[in-house]
Amino acid sequence: MTDPISSDLRASDLRSCLHGLWLPLIAPFREGALDEASLRRLVRHYTALPVNGLILAATTGEGLTLTPKETQRLVFAVRDEAGARPLPVCLGLSGSNTAALLDTLETTAAWPIDGYLISCPYYSRPSQRGLELHFGALADRAAHPLALYNIPYRTGVNLGNEAMLRLAMHPNIVGLKDCSADRNQSLDLLRRRPNDFSVLTGEDAQYHEALTDGADGAILASAHVETEAFARLQSLMAAGERDAALACWQSVADLTRLLFSEPSPAPIKYWLWRTGLIDSAEVRLPMTEVSAELATRIDREIERRSPHPSPREERGEGEAAITAL
C-alpha cells in the first residue's frame, strides 16, 4: 500500500474546482478482483483528456460492492497514476447510518482526496430536518469538503431546496450533484444558491438542458466515451456559442441513451473493454453484463464512430465475447 499523501499534495481546493466535466470513474474488475492494471490505464487515458475531476467509488464505480480495502487501493492507485496532472478527486460515499458514515470520514481523513460526494440516505426516507442534521453532522466532522448528491429516484427521498440552501451556507458544503429529475426544482436552486456554491447535473440525458439553465457543469457516466465532445459542449456554452453547442450535443445525445439502455455501468464497461481500455467488462452482482442484443448495438456504434480496428478487435477477441454473452 502506498503511504498516505499529505494534504499539501492534493490537487486543489474543491470549492474552486467543482465545475466543468467530472467523470464518475468505473472500477474495473477481473476474475472477481479489482483490476489495478486496467484502472491505471484508465487514469492515464482520462488525465490526457479535458476532464476537470474524478469521482471514485460512487454509483458508476460500483462503490457499494467494494470492500474498504479495495476502495483504499483504488483511491491511492488513481492518485499515484495521475502523475503530472493531479486531477481533483472526490470519494463517493453513501449510507443511511450517520454514525457509520462519521466513522468512514475518520478512516479516510488522511487519504489523498479533495472531497466527498455523499448521497442522501437511502431507504429510510428521513424528513427534511433529518437530512439537514445528517449532512450537517458529516460536514462538521469531515476533513475534506462535501458535495451533496440528490437523486430521489434511487434513494427514495428528495432533498428540497429550502433544506439545501441552508446546508449550502455550511463552510464545508461546497456543491451539489443534482439528479432531482425536477427541472423546476433545479431552476429554483440555480436562481437562489450562494455565488460560491456549485451545481452540477448528474443527468446524462439532460446535460445540454442543464447547462442552458445555468448549471456549472456535470458529472456524467456517458463521458467515459466521446469525452472530448462532452467537454467541448461545456466550452461552447461558456463561450456563448449556443448553435454550435446544440450541434455538439446532438452528436452525443443518442450515445447517452445507448449507454443507459441497460443498467449502468455494464454498457460503459462493455464499450471500454471492446475498445481496449480495460481488460474485462466484468461487473459485480447484483449488476450483470450486457445482453447479446445490446452488445451488438454497442459494437455497431463503436464501428460507426471509430471505423479503425480497436486493439481488442485486432487480437480477434470481439466475436468470441459476443458469443459468450
**Catalytically annotated residues:** 149, 177
Among residues 227, 234, 242, 236, the alpha carbon closest in space to that of 305 is found at: 227
DSSP string, 128-158: HHHHHHHHHHHHHH-SS-EEEEE-HHHHS--
Among residues 137, 116, 136, 186, the alpha carbon closest in space to that of 158 is found at: 186
- All three cell numbers of 300: 455497431
Rounded Cα–Cα distance for residues 212 and 254 (Å):
19
- Angle (CA) 13 9 62, round 5°: 75
Per DSSP bridges, beta strands 89-93 and 146-150 are unpaired
| CB contact at 8 A, 113 and 80 | no
Residue numbering of the annotated binding site: 60, 219
Among residues 52, 132, 127, 138, the alpha carbon closest in space to that of 95 is found at: 138
Rounded Cα–Cα distance for residues 289 and 325 (Å):
8
DSSP-H helix ranges across 87-241: 98-108, 128-141, 152-155, 161-167, 183-192, 207-213, 227-238
- Alpha carbon 141 to chain centroid distance? 24
Rounded Cα–Cα distance for residues 54 and 217 (Å):
13
Residue numbering of the annotated binding site for pyruvate: 60, 219
Residue 195 one-letter amino acid: N
Residue 28 one-letter amino acid: P
